[in-house]
Amino acid sequence: MFGSNRPPEQIVPRSDGTYKMLAILDPNVRLQHDINADPAVTEFLEMCTQREVNKRASIEDLFKHRYLAE
C-alpha cells in the first residue's frame, strides 16, 4: 500500500469512509450545506472547519458566536 504508484483514492476503500479524510487534503473540496439549515449553524461550522489554522476561529470566538449565544 505505501509503495504503490496509485493515487490514494484507488488504494483506500471507499466503503469504510476513510476516503472522506482524503478530501480534507483537497483544497477544492467544500462542505455541502443543507439548504434548510440555520444560517448561524452553517456559519459556525465554517468557522470551525477552516483548513488554514490562522483563519480558523479561536475557542473564544466560537463561544461568542450567535449560535451558542442563542
In tens, the pLDDT along 6-22 reads: 666 666 556 666 777 77
Q: Are residues 44 and 14 in the same domain?
A: no
Query: pTM for the full model?
Result: 0.61
Match 509503495 to its residue by C-alpha cell. 3
pLDDT tens, residue by residue, 32-65: 777 788 999 999 999 998 888 899 999 999 999 9
What's the CA dihedral at 39, 42, 46, 15 to 10 degrees?
A: -160
**7 & 25 share domain:** yes
- Report the percentage of the chain scoring pLDDT > 90: 33
Pair 35, 56 in one domain: yes
Within this chain, do residues 35 and 12 fall inside the same structural domain, yes or no? Answer: no
